[in-house]
Amino acid sequence: MPRPLVAIIDIAALQHNLTVAKRKTPQARVWAVVKANAYGHGLERALRGFAEADGLALIEPDAAVRLRDLGWRKPILLLEGCFDAVDFAIAAQYQFDIAIHCAEQIALLEQTRFPKPVNIHLKMNSGMNRLGFTPAAFAGAFGRLRDNPAVASITLMTHFANADDADNPALPLAEQLRRFQLGSAGLDAPVSVSNSGATLLHAGLTSHQVRPGVMLYGGSPGTAPAADFDLRPAMTLQSELIGIQQIHAGEAVGYGSRFVAPVPMSVGVVACGYADGYPRHAPTGTPILVQGMRTRVIGNISMDMLTVDLTPVPTAHVGSCVTLWGDDLPIDEVARAAGTIGYELMCAIAPRVRVTER
């Protein structure tokens, strides 16, 4: 029999969240981002949840091939482009859209024979300083691609560092836009600039194509709760109490004895630990639900277990349902308590965790 720990994926929530993205940007083509195994939700489920998307976007060429094998016939975009000549050959075979972010990729593109011209998404580094051509080099890269008969269309792309914090003094959103507009001035091509944060918070931006990611899975790209944007959690991580300990005041709980009971307490043991993807650094006080009632994690997270304060849940018993995040407990709230972001929790679900859907 399996452990009681299960990740429940809500296909209807995925569909709903895509609808929110489309409603926010009715003028734009929507690429549903499905990298990292659809943020831990599974590519097969993403195919059904995002069937109405205009295309799917990810970074892994092998996963892109799998999407084709699973039956996806609409466009697929490789967000980091191709990593070597083999990847370009695969992209040619499966007709992937390809991001181009450096001169080396253009050279590999020019060496690849395509059965028919491919669509290119030319990336500018507008200040995030990860991937992309500088604004000064952007037009030159565009011209080189435009003159290549293997290129069907070119989309101008950049990525915002602070869409959820537009006035960040280190790199304001307006400054990234200014650099992008300066570097792309005079280039006749559609624009793709909006990630989840821009889609939700800056829907008025000119973006002919949008690339929502975490919002599609019910996570917030910023500090505002996802529910404020009408987003629904697509993943609920549930387990059960597998033990209960009655401890006296002054007794400690877990590795390192970090939590010491101030009064006599009932402590519940949950079948979930850091080997399952729960954050090991989640401190005492991290919210958790037992029998639908809010309580807190106490003590250090173990590999296979964590402990909770059952004081608010006097009727709890071995077998009581525990919600780690999801329904009635936003994943972003758990992530903030643990000093991380919801993206990481979604993607960290371990292979040993059973996954079902509804």
Give catalytic residues, as residue numbers: 35, 255
Structure tokens at 162: 């602070």
DSSP strand pairing (29-33 vs 6-9): unpaired
Structure tokens at 124: 């500018």
The backbone region for 160, taken as left when phi is positive above 0, alpha when psi lies in -120 to 50, beta otherwise, is: beta
Residue 129 main-chain phi, psi, to 5 deg = 60, 45
- DSSP state, residue 326: B
**How many CB atoms neighbour CB 302 within 10 A?**
18
Structure tokens at 155: 């989309």
C-alpha to C-alpha distance for 176 and 260, rounded to whole angstroms: 49
C-alpha to C-alpha distance for 39 and 345, rounded to whole angstroms: 9
C-alpha to C-alpha distance for 296 and 204, rounded to whole angstroms: 40
Tell me, rounded to whole angstroms, the distance of Cα 7 from its chain centroid. Answer: 16
